[in-house]
Amino acid sequence: MKIGNTEIGKVALAPLAGITDMAFRRICRSFGAGYAETEMVSAKALSFNDKKSFELMELSEDEHPCGIQLFGSEPNVISNAAVLAKNEGADVIDVNMGCPAPKIAGNGSGSALMKNPKLCGEIVAAIKSKVDLPVTVKIRKGFDSENVNAAEVAKICEQNGADAIIVHGRTRQQYYSGKCDLDIIKTVKSAVSVPVIGNGDVKDIKSAQKMLEYTGCDAVMVARAALGNPWIFRTLKEYFDKGIIINPPSHEDKLKIMREHIELVCSYKGERLGMLQSRKQIAWYLKGFNGAAKFRNEAGTVSTLDDMYSLIDRVLCYQAENK
Ligand SMILES: Cc1cc2nc3c(=O)[nH]c(=O)nc-3n(C[C@H](O)[C@H](O)[C@H](O)COP(=O)(O)O)c2cc1C
């Protein structure tokens, strides 16, 4: 599966604000995610030289291909931001046309763009005129149940040069609840000739296979199911590449992966900020362990790597005692 000339494989990590930082992207890539994206970056903030927004675009050398996702609503501002993203090493520019959050959609960006398909096309055309990189758009089913227009938006984006379409099968109104609508992904796939990446509720082999087979989409993007579970990419890759169903990692291995992940976060962000930002990640990793509720609460208080190492020891002891 290619976006433009960029090979991305069949299973990608979706952008997740506050989560898909360099450490998490690298961990997911090491488990076989063929492609990942930064979280959404404000084109407007980049135009004001905002340091934090530039930091969000930093990519490590070993994580290509990687897309940088931009949000905004002004073709000129977002296309200038695309030039900056290219300078940071982006392999693909993705435009967020799906974010439901009021502070984004309320400003006419994210999912609000779907109310104005013509503007969606203008944004894609503006980016294509300024950077020679593949451009994708990440859209939803529509803004709400009365305005289901993913196929229309996808077509306009394609006509204006989009190299692939990513569709999340929920409306903005639904946020992240309700079921992902596979039919809308199928409709988008038959409406355009560029590749389509399906997104929504892919959480295991069965749901990934159903998404691919039922909708005919070219690849799938996994978001929430990767939280505390980056080995999902190995499970899916082994299955789609070789037809092999592998066992999930043991408790010990899961904690080892968590440890490596959080150490990587701290190596990038420093221990203080790294540990603060990692509390939710640690809680996700501990899902499904014996005593998870108690240990996940404790995860909310870790402040140093030593706190985490001690938590890991206690979790392992508890597993051994409560087999
Ligand atoms: C906490 C959170 C943050 C998200 N941040 C982004 C984002 O920055 N850009 C984006 O396009 N989608 C974002 N999404 C949407 C996901 O990429 C994805 O489309 C959605 O979660 C559906 O996929 P899933 O059912 O596999 O979780 C976010 C979702 C969540 C839950």
* Residue 129 shares a structural domain with residue 264: no
Residue with CA closest to ligand 1 atom 19: 168
Structure tokens at 297: 């609460």
- Asked whether 200 lines ligand 1 (CB < 6 A), one says yes
How many whole angstroms from 36 Cα to the centroid of ligand 1?
Answer: 12
* Residue 278 shares a structural domain with residue 166: no
* Residue 273 shares a structural domain with residue 234: no
* pLDDT computed for residue 323 by the predictor: 81
Into how many domains does the chain fold?
A: 2
- What is the CB-side half-sphere exposure of residue 135 using CA atoms within 13 A? 30
Q: Which amino acid is at 176?
A: Y
pLDDT 10s digits, 242-260: 999 999 999 999 999 999 9
CATH number, domain of 223, equals 3.20.20.70
**242, 259, 282 - which closes a domain:** 242
Structure tokens at 302: 């870790």
How many whole angstroms from 166 Cα to the centroid of ligand 1?
Answer: 12
Residue with CA closest to ligand 1 atom 4: 16
* Residue 230 shares a structural domain with residue 260: no
* Residue 112 shares a structural domain with residue 223: yes
- Give dist(CA 262, CA 256) in Å, integer: 10
What is the H or E stretch that residue 84 is in?
helix 75-87
**Helix axis angle, 205-215 to 232-242, nearest 10°:** 50
Contact (Cβ atoms closer than 8 angstroms) between residue 12 and residue 197: yes
Per-residue b or e along 147-174, where b marks 16 or more CB atoms closer than 10 Å to that residue's CB:
ebbbbbbbbbbbebbbbbbbbbbbbbbb
* Residue 82 shares a structural domain with residue 117: yes
- Asked whether 169 lines ligand 1 (CB < 6 A), one says no
The segments of the chain whose pLDDT lies below 70 read: none
**218, 242, 266 - which closes a domain:** 242
Kindly report the length of the chain: 323
* Residue 232 shares a structural domain with residue 181: yes
* Residue 264 shares a structural domain with residue 228: no
- Asked whether 17 lines ligand 1 (CB < 6 A), one says yes
Which ligand 1 atom sits nearest the alpha carbon of residue 170? 22
35 CB-contact burial (10 Å; exposed 0-12 / middle 13-18 / buried 19+): buried
* Residue 306 shares a structural domain with residue 236: no
* Residue 261 shares a structural domain with residue 151: no
- Asked whether 191 lines ligand 1 (CB < 6 A), one says no
Range of the domain at 18: 2-242
CATH number, domain of 267, equals 1.10.1200.80
- Asked whether 222 lines ligand 1 (CB < 6 A), one says yes
**242, 260, 282 - which closes a domain:** 242
- Asked whether 170 lines ligand 1 (CB < 6 A), one says no
* Residue 155 shares a structural domain with residue 16: yes
What residues act catalytically?
A: 99
* Residue 282 shares a structural domain with residue 207: no
DSSP code string of 89-125: T-SEEEEEE----HHHHTTT-GGGGGG-HHHHHHHHH
pLDDT 10s digits, 126-135: 999 999 999 9
How many whole angstroms from 98 Cα to the centroid of ligand 1?
Answer: 9
How many whole angstroms from 100 Cα to the centroid of ligand 1?
Answer: 10
Of 168, 184, 211, 280, best ligand 1 pocket probe by most atoms within 8 Å of the beta carbon: 168
Q: Which amino acid is at 64?
A: H
Residue with CA closest to ligand 1 atom 28: 16
